[in-house]
Amino acid sequence: AQSVSQHNHHVILSEAASLELGCNYSYGGTVNLFWYVQYPGQHLQLLLKYFSGDPLVKGIKGFEAEFIKSKFSFNLRKPSVQWSDTAEYFCAVVGSAGNKLTFGGGTRVLVKP
Amino acid sequence: EAQVTQNPRYLITVTGKKLTVTCSQNMNHEYMSWYRQDPGLGLRQIYYSMNVEVTDKGDVPEGYKVSRKEKRNFPLILESPSPNQTSLYFCASRTFGGSGSSYNEQFFGPGTRLTVL
């Protein structure tokens, strides 16, 4: 069965700091990978996704993620965060059969102004 | 506007009182699913449906029922709610099959916050 782990449950940082959120998955085959963001009181929105090709994926709002197949990782990065990036971030994976999206436990990010 | 809608958005109820949370999507998606979100556990899938009259259990189906009589609707039914079902619930939909970069991207509803006393 596929699974996803996110290393940090809570991250607190100041504006302009760099952000990196870890995500590791376990699955034996080809995967599609996603990062979703949930702003306070809102539903999940897709930040970025990886299907194939260039392992460095750029998403919305200045976020990017790098797929490292050998490490089963898909870490999310942003060079300089803003207060508006305060949210909960979820990594998710779906296997090549495409039936089930499995989420990590989420990382709450608080950006102090 | 393409969207997934859920009703109600907030619900407080008592143990044992049957309730239904509705979900509707206007994107003609085949695949729909229900998740519950609990702190530290992320989103866990309750049930999913690959098309009309085709439903199956997810990771945490106990205490829930679903039906898929029409393509656009996928209600979640709690026949006898209990306090451990207090949670934030999300409905989601996506295309199933086909190709391209939209494959597998799920669109989420706004969530239903349920409290069972």
Give me A9's structure tokens.
């449950």
Q: Find the closest chain B residue to A108 by CA distance.
A: B40
Neighbours of A70 (CB within 10 A): 5
Are the C-beta atoms of B114 and B11 separated by less than 8 Å? yes
Omega before B8 within 30 of 0, i.e. cis: yes
- Which pLDDT band holds residue B104 (cuts at 50, 70, 90)? low
**How does the average pLDDT of chain A come out, rounded?**
91
Q: Strand A3-6 to strand A23-26: parallel, antiparallel, or no bridges (unpaired)?
A: antiparallel
Task: Report the candidate in A99, A100, A111, A108 with the shortest Cα–Cα distance to residue A4.
Answer: A100
Q: Measure A77 CA to nearest chain B CA, in Å.
A: 20
End-to-end CA distance of chain B: 36
B98 in reach of chain A (CB within 8 A)? no
Q: Does B67 touch chain A (CB under 8 A)?
A: no
Length reported for chain A: 113
Mean pLDDT value across chain B: 91
Torsion angle (degrees, nearest 10) of CA B25, B54, B44, A20 = -60
A47: left (phi over 0), alpha (psi -120 to 50) or beta: alpha
Model confidence pLDDT, tens digit, residues B22-69:
999 999 999 999 999 998 888 999 999 989 999 999 999 999 999 999
- pLDDT level of residue A91 (50, 70, 90 thresholds): very high
B105 in contact with A, Cβ within 8 Å = yes
User: According to the model, what pLDDT value does residue A98 have?
Assistant: 61
Q: Are B15 and B81 in contact (CB under 8 A)?
A: yes
Shortest CA gap B79–chain A (Å): 25
pLDDT of A99 > 70? The answer is no
